[in-house]
Amino acid sequence: MAEYTPPLRDIKFVLSNIVDLAGLAALEGFEHSDPDTVFGALDEGGRFMAEVVAPTNSIGDKEGAVLSDEGVVITPDAFKNVYRLYVEAGWGAVPFPPEYGGHGFPWVVGLSIQEMLAASNMAFSLLPMLTQGAIEAVLLHGSDELRGKFLEKLITAEWSGTMVLTEPQAGSDLGVVRTRAVPQDDGTYRITGQKIFISWGDHDLAENVIHLVLARTPDGKPGTKGLSMFLVPKMLVNDDGTLGDTNEVSVVSLEHKLGIHASPTCVLAFGDDEGSVGYLVGEEFEGMKNMFTMMNSARLSVGLQGLAISERAYQDALQYAQERKQGRAIGTQPGEHSLIIDHPDVRRMLMTQRAYIEAMRSLLYTNAEAMDIALNHPDEDRRQEAAELADLLTPLSKAWSTDLGVELTSLVIQVYGGMGYVEETGVAQHFRDARIAPIYEGTNGIQAMDLVGRKLPMRGGEVVRGFIGRMASIDADLAAAGDDLASIRSGMTDAIAALSDATMWLAQRGMENINDALAAATPYLRMFSTVTGGWFMARQALAAHAALNNGAAGDEFLQAKVVTARFYAEQLLPQAAGLLGAIKGGADVLFEIDPGFLGV
């Protein structure tokens, strides 16, 4: 396996040419986020992730997390020093407010650090990712008392956080959550119930674990509108900030999973005796609204995992293809064996990985930039525009990137051939680890339904139409670039026409027959994402092409940018138009076979 090399030049290229990092640095509070400062931090972050975190990836996969006879979750030994160094370096504090110990950088900067962390060790990276969600929930919805008591330790990562949502009978249907929260005379609540699939629900790395729990108060009506959010610490916290007694949060069991073995996925029991002490976060019955603060951030971070693990696996495939000899490429002398990278089909697989990775990075970073602008821009209209863009891009970021994470890690195994299917080579771990990402934080089918059911109708469809129009407007710049980018221009023209056709059909059909719209949701999300990826690749090509013509001639990195964008436009983007039939196919054929005969 290759040693992980942070793709720093590509990250900086996206931050400079796709994301307006300099523009973000002009916003109040981000003055220290100028490109030079950020790029210096990225250099150091890349070094830390590559040298400190990345070597623990396969170790964690082999050792896994285990539950002791005493009910304590034990993580791999190598993680303990890594986490200590992570806390000391302050990497978890990058995008959070200075008044609580954060470094105050834009979210997109934190995301770029997070990419390198997730690529280094996906299982380990889930711990800081979940803590970020807990921080956001307390920061935006918690009382001053809760912020003062819990935020600083969460931001320093001395304490970790979780999202505690589903239960054995619930799955994705949180409306049937049964966990109870009974109010007490002192303003606290007593929490009782059992929760499942709680990533990093317990561990031996941080001093305390802060759970953000969905529960139902006695007056809570059935369904999601009756749910409230509660902060439930594993260890109670005294008024002076020191840790007190345990809080009746116990680990019932750990799940035995396909991948991310070092990330403990817990079944948690709250309130074995009197009930766990919990603190209401926000208003009663606003639990789902508050939880989506965590969920939307988590969905972007999970999409990032698709990118990160694809990048890590791609580096393995590229090194292997440059070392492995097999067969004889066209033009090779008889009796000689060729490196497999000289075979067209292997080149196709490698270029497919490279192109999708570059498209994903632009999508995810733009999504984060939109979130930054929505929260921090002084102009209300600009904030609203950015919030709508973030809402639109989030299902694409989560679903497309995680689907590609599975597809691209599978391609890496294919590059390795039979050796890829052997665990000792290590690349099978990437495929196993990647498979969870399309499932959690809202399965990708739910993301597709969200796109069609909630995002397509925003402002009467104007948000989507405006975004498609924005993508279409790149035609003039591509035309001005001439023959060098001609195939990108023609590819984008055809793809945008197909996307516009599909969008109009869905807008009409969704009102006439909701089942037809839902049946079209997944292929529509794939089409929308593929075209959006093409737009980002076209923008990268334009930026590289301009640089090559203005003093950077001969720069192989920039030349490769143009070629990769052409590959995307010529060989990946045509898939978008091919999805039109599936989108317009309707739901009837899905239900024509009686369920009892589906297995015959």
In this prediction the pTM is: 0.97
pLDDT at 173 over 80: no
Q: Is 511 contained in some domain? A: yes
Reduce the DSSP state of residue 363 to 3 states and report it: helix
Residue 353: φ, ψ to 5°: -60, -50
The structure tokens 């469809």 sit at 461
Q: How confident is the model at residue 169 (pLDDT cuts 50, 70, 90)?
A: confident
Q: Which residues pair with 193 in a beta bridge?
A: 270
Which pLDDT does position 280 carry in this prediction? 98
Q: Is residue 485 part of a domain?
A: yes
Q: What percent of the chain has pLDDT over 70?
A: 99
Is 518 inside a domain boundary? yes
- What residues pair up with 211 in beta bridges, in sequence order? 162, 232
pLDDT tens per residue, range 481-507: 999 999 999 999 999 999 999 999 999
Q: Is 309 exposed, middle or buried (0-12, 13-18, 19+ CB in 10 A)?
A: buried
Of the candidates 569, 479, 562, 572, the residue with the CA atom closest to the CA atom of residue 13: 562
In a domain, 574, yes or no: yes
Mean pLDDT value across the chain: 95
Structure tokens that stand for 255 in this block? 């799940």
Q: How confident is the model at residue 297 (pLDDT cuts 50, 70, 90)?
A: confident
Nearby residues of 512 by Cβ (< 8 Å), 6 or more positions away: none
CB contact at 8 A, 359 and 351: no
Structural domain boundaries enclosing 466: 444-592
pLDDT at 511 over 80: no
Mean pLDDT of 387-403: 97
Residues pairing with 195 in the sheet: 268
Q: For residue 214, give the nearest of 150, 110, 284 by alpha carbon.
A: 284
DSSP annotation of 327 reads: S
Q: Are strands 208-216 and 159-164 parallel, antiparallel or unpaired?
A: parallel
Active-site residue set: 441
pLDDT of 510 above 90: no
pLDDT at 600: 64
* Interacting residues of 215 by C-beta distance below 8 A, sequence separation 6+: 177, 179, 180, 181, 189, 191, 193, 227, 228, 230, 278, 287
CA angle 13, 15, 16 (to 5 degrees): 65
3-state SS assignment for residue 122: helix
- Reported confidence tier of residue 403, pLDDT bands at 50, 70, 90: very high
Task: State whether the Cα torsion 517-521-523-529 is positive or negative.
Answer: positive
Q: How far is CA 543 from CA 13, 21, 328, 441, in A?
A: 9, 15, 38, 34
C-alpha Rg value of the chain to the nearest Å? 24
Q: What is the pLDDT of residue 171?
A: 67
pLDDT digits (tens, 9 = 90+) for 102-132: 999 999 999 999 999 999 999 999 999 999 9
Task: Give yes or no for residue 509 having a pLDDT over 90.
Answer: no
The half-sphere exposure of 52 on its side-chain side, counting CA atoms within 13 A, is 22
- According to the model, what pLDDT value does residue 172 have? 67
How far lies 287's CA from each of 163, 166, 229, 301, in Å? 12, 13, 4, 21
- Is 438 inside a domain boundary? no
Question: If you search the block for the tokens 């299982």, which residue do you land on?
Answer: 123
Look-up of token digits 């030049």: 9
| H or E stretch at 45 | helix 35-48
At 329-381, the pLDDT tens digits run 998 888 899 999 999 999 999 999 999 999 999 999 999 999 999 999 999 99
Helix 344-376 to helix 107-120 angle (10° resolution) is 140
Q: Are the beta carbons of 199 and 160 closer than 8 angstroms?
A: no
* Average pLDDT of the residues in 430-441: 96
Task: Indicate whether 568 belongs to any domain.
Answer: yes
Tokens for 169, please give them: 């009978």
Task: Inform me whether the pLDDT recorded for 465 exceeds 90.
Answer: yes
- The three-state secondary structure class of 554 is coil
Alpha-carbon distance of 501 to 188, in angstroms, equals 54
Give domain status of residue 571, yes or no.
yes
Give the amino acid at 238. Answer: N
Q: Where are the beta strands (DSSP E) in 134-218?
A: 159-164, 180-183, 189-199, 208-216
Residue predicted with more confidence, 63 or 554: 63
Angle, vertex CA 464, rays to CA 461 and CA 468, nearest 5: 135
pLDDT confidence of residue 294 = 72
Pick from 31-45, 74-88, 278-292, 411-425: least confident: 278-292
Report if residue 302 sits inside a domain. Answer: no
Lowest-confidence pick of 99-113, 170-184, 428-442, 561-575: 170-184
Domain count of the fold of the chain: 1
The mean pLDDT value for 80-108 works out to 97
**DSSP letters for 198-264:** EETSS-SSSSEEEEEEEEE-TTPPSSGGGEEEEEEESEEE-TTS-EEEE-SEEEEEE---SS-TTS-
What is residue 181's predicted lDDT score, i.e. its pLDDT? 96
The single residue listed with the structure tokens 């064996």 is 337
Report yes or no: 475 and 493 within 8 Å, Cβ to Cβ.
yes
Six-digit token string for 301: 């971070």
pLDDT at 539 over 80: yes
